[in-house]
Amino acid sequence: MSQRDYYEVLGVARDASDRDIKKAFRRMAMKHHPDRNPDDAASEDAFKEVNEAYEVLSDNQKKAAYDQYGHAGVHGQGGHGHGGQDNGFGDIFGDVFGDIFGGGGGGGGRRRSSVQRGADLRYNLDMPLEDAVRGVSTTIKVPTLVGCEVCDGSGAKAGTQPKTCSTCGGVGQVRMQQGFFSVQQTCPTCRGEGKIISDPCNACHGHGRTEKTKTLSVKIPPGVDTGDRIRLTGEGEAGANGGPAGDLYVQVNVLEHAIFERDGKHLFCEVPISFVDAALGGELEVPTLDGRVKLKVPAETQTGKLFRLRGKGISPVRGGSTGDLLVRAVVETPVKLSKRQKELLREFEQEMDQGNDKHSPKKSGFFNSVKKFFEDMT
């Protein structure tokens, strides 16, 4: 069609790279595309000329012949951008307009790979706080799809092989020429696989994969918390048609503990103390994840007082300083008192009343506030 220099048509130098040639073609094709220039014969001719130039310069063999012999070197080798069933237009048009027509950029006789990566899987792992803090190795059982051992993943019965689809020639797609458009569609015969299994494997029924429960060993690092994930590469579902397996993500869920509550790297617990120890002071045994430790309780300790044991928390899985253990004191009221104990408490109360509320400052302050509240209302 065109006798103009192909490099001139695309506006590139003769030593332009493949990337520059493709970039120039995209720009020129968009400029002269018939949809953008309806009823414009000049733009239509220019669009055909751009298509023709790119068809030659994007093919290394045709480009070498053109560089050496000019138009004569490519005459009759598809240098005309129209009238052919497979002129490469599907490829370059896909580069410009993407996957609009389902071609996926896979024209020009390219084989669309039917190999697919297997799906990723998730396994929810419940574990006690102690294991999460210290780390542990455990085994899990995961139901998944694995490659069929009988047919080695081919889907065909032993001793046979899948046959190339006669409809698409193994490409997995068929083309339809509609004017300037080269439309690609999934092959209806093989459904895009490119192959036909006439005698399927009895074990996997032609799928190439079978269900199996795998037993896997998982190493849980110290310091994990609820929501953390551990990836086991390649332990997900097997890929289709020999594709790579997906990954398995082990999702950690730390169970509630009978004594400790966790907040990041810190731990909390409540420790009951007797009425006498709270008033006079004393020494308590406090539980930690590493064993029991002694804690001195000062005199006049009130319920809710927090004691911090530094470094008795959790070492974070991603590094950093170890957290603390915060101990909340809870003063326990005596129960099931004997008659004599009750008498002693009454005597104690009488002694306390003679102190003009100096022994119970919170009680005195509270009731004074209540009294003032009602006085202000009146």
Per-residue pLDDT tens over the stretch 326-360: 999 999 988 899 999 999 989 888 887 765 566 66
Please answer whether residues 10 and 24 qualify as being in contact, where contact means their C-beta atoms are separated by less than 8 angstroms.
yes
What pLDDT band is residue 219 in, cutting at 50, 70 and 90? very high
The reported pLDDT for the residue numbered 358 is: 62
User: Token pair of 77, please?
Assistant: 């080798």
The boundaries of the domain holding residue 148 are 113-156+205-255
* Alpha helix ranges (H) inside 11-121: 18-32, 41-57, 60-69, 71-74, 89-97
Asked if residue 345 is part of any domain, the answer here is yes
Residue 167 CA to residue 161 CA, distance in Å, equals 18
Residues 130, 242, single domain; the answer is: yes
Reduced to 3 states, what is the DSSP secondary structure of residue 168? coil
Residues 274, 323, single domain; the answer is: yes
Residues 149, 231, single domain; the answer is: yes
Asked if residue 183 is part of any domain, the answer here is no
The reported pLDDT for the residue numbered 93 is: 44
> Shortest CA distance to 262 belongs to which of 127, 98, 112?
127
User: Token pair of 237, please?
Assistant: 């579902």
Please answer whether residues 217 and 209 qualify as being in contact, where contact means their C-beta atoms are separated by less than 8 angstroms.
no
Name the percent of the chain lying above pLDDT 70: 79
Residues 219, 142, single domain; the answer is: yes
What pLDDT band is residue 248 in, cutting at 50, 70 and 90? very high
> Shortest CA distance to 131 belongs to which of 215, 228, 213?
228
The reported pLDDT for the residue numbered 52 is: 87
The reported pLDDT for the residue numbered 359 is: 61
Note if the pTM is more than 0.85: no
Given the DSSP bridges, would you call strands 121-127 and 248-254 parallel, antiparallel or unpaired? parallel
Name the percent of the chain lying above pLDDT 90: 33
Asked if residue 235 is part of any domain, the answer here is yes
23, pLDDT greater than 70: yes
112, pLDDT greater than 70: no
User: Which CATH number does the domain housing residue 45 bear?
Assistant: 1.10.287.110
Residues 76, 11, single domain; the answer is: yes
Plot region of 226 (φ>0 → left; ψ -120 to 50 → alpha; else → beta): beta
Please answer whether residues 359 and 349 qualify as being in contact, where contact means their C-beta atoms are separated by less than 8 angstroms.
no
Please answer whether residues 238 and 146 qualify as being in contact, where contact means their C-beta atoms are separated by less than 8 angstroms.
yes
313, pLDDT greater than 90: yes
256, pLDDT greater than 90: yes
155, pLDDT greater than 50: yes
Residue 93 CA to residue 100 CA, distance in Å, equals 10
DSSP line for 262-289? EETTEEEEEEEE-HHHHHH-EEEEEEET
Residue 248 CA to residue 154 CA, distance in Å, equals 24
What pLDDT band is residue 142 in, cutting at 50, 70 and 90? very high
Residues 247, 305, single domain; the answer is: no
The reported pLDDT for the residue numbered 329 is: 92
The reported pLDDT for the residue numbered 378 is: 66
Q: pLDDT higher for 46 or 88?
A: 46
What pLDDT band is residue 231 in, cutting at 50, 70 and 90? very high
Mean pLDDT (the chain, rounded):
81
The predicted-structure confidence for 56-81, as pLDDT tens digits, reads as follows 888 888 888 888 777 776 764 433 33
Q: pLDDT higher for 202 or 97?
A: 202
- 12-13-15-17 Cα dihedral, nearest 10 degrees: -20
The reported pLDDT for the residue numbered 106 is: 40
Q: pLDDT higher for 281 or 95?
A: 281
How many folded domains does the chain comprise?
4
CB-side exposure of 82: number of CA atoms within 13 Å?
Answer: 13
Residues 317, 301, single domain; the answer is: yes
137, pLDDT greater than 50: yes
User: Token pair of 314, please?
Assistant: 């959790």
Asked if residue 187 is part of any domain, the answer here is no
Residues 236, 350, single domain; the answer is: no
111, pLDDT greater than 50: no
**What's the Cα-to-Cα distance from 251 to each of 21, 123, 218, 241, 262, rounded to whole Å?**
48, 6, 11, 29, 18
The reported pLDDT for the residue numbered 178 is: 62
Question: Can you tell me the mean pLDDT for 39-43?
Answer: 83
Q: pLDDT higher for 12 or 375?
A: 12
What pLDDT band is residue 371 in, cutting at 50, 70 and 90? low
Asked if residue 137 is part of any domain, the answer here is yes
